[in-house]
Amino acid sequence: MDVTSQRSTLDDRPLGKAERARFFVSERHGGLECLEATFRTHVYAPHAHETFVVGTVVAGCETFLCRGARHYVGPDDLTFVNPLEVHDGEPFEDGYSYRMSYPTVDFVAAAAREVAGEASARMPYFAQPCVRDPEGAALFVQAHRLLDQGEDALAGDEALLGVMALLVARHGGVRPRSLGQEAAPVKRAQALIDDRFADDLSLDDLAAAAGLPRHLLIRAFRRETGATPHSYLVNRRVLEARSLLRSGVSPAEAALAVGFFDQSHLTRAFKARHGVTPGAYRAAFRH
């Protein structure tokens, strides 16, 4: 048995027809390795990773051996493998599609410290290799897809940290810190968004301005404002885009000017908040 990366494990066993596997890496999160794949016949040999393994099946069923027992993972389930735990994996019946991540020990330890609010927080240990958790599975898929798409960095930051915080607290034995008096720190984060809404702000940027751990900032920001930092940022960008559209700026130009990835990104956010497209809104002011 070798301690290996998931990429090299796949490279050792070529995929069959109707199978696919795609890796991507989120450099923004310490080089977090992620995999999105569909397997019909592919079988993993017993192996282990130096990282954690966290993921979910989105269709079908995977079966794997870990800790001397066989497990079956389907939609609404989460799978956890701790570092250096030997496991394999293969399709059950017609195969499966899944989304997996391989967070490093440092990454998971940092998430635990933020959730607990303690520099000496215990290292999470996932006691069950497979758990039924529809909410956690859905949030994991959402975060994985946002990282995969790469269109909205802060949305990916917020979703990834949010789901990791949920998982280490719910399944990894970490006790969350209670909220305190965070109104002033939240106002500092708001001010940074107001001043630099067009920039590619990260959760690290906002947490540094607030002087709070990232996970605590998300919770406190929602309590104080009714929105997450990402929602607040998107709303701030939409408001600025409205002003530009009224002055005759095209939707494409307005989108880039206020920090959206492209015009379609602005259109989705604008219509969700105002019921009309940016183009229709702009046309109302052109007589």
CATH code (residue 243): 1.10.10.60
Place of tokens 């570092």: 83
**Predicted pLDDT at 228:** 94
**153 and 221 part of one domain:** no
Classify residue 28: in a domain, yes or no: yes
Provide the strand spans (E) within the chain.
20-26, 32-39, 44-47, 53-66, 69-73, 77-81, 87-102, 130-132
Distance CA(261)–CA(266), nearest Å, equals 8
Distance CA 118, CA 200 (A): 29
pLDDT score at 118: 75
Give the closest residue to 286 by CA, choosing from 246, 244, 242, 241: 246
Q: Record the pTM.
A: 0.83
Give the total number of structural domains in the chain. 3
On whether both 220 and 248 belong to a single domain, the answer is no
pLDDT of residue 105: 95
Same domain for 148 and 10: yes
Output the pLDDT for position 176: 85
Longest CA pairwise span in the chain (Å): 73
Q: Is residue 77 part of a domain?
A: yes
Q: 260 and 158 share a domain? A: no
Residue 139 counted as domain residue: yes
Q: Are residues 261 and 211 in the same domain?
A: no
Ranges in the chain, pLDDT < 70: 1-16, 287
- Count of Cβ atoms closer than 10 Å to residue 30 Cβ: 12
Domain holding 216, by residue range, is 178-193+202-226
Cα–Cα distance for residue pair 167/124, rounded to 1 Å: 9
Task: Give domain status of residue 1, yes or no.
Answer: no
Q: According to the model, what pLDDT value does residue 40 have?
A: 94
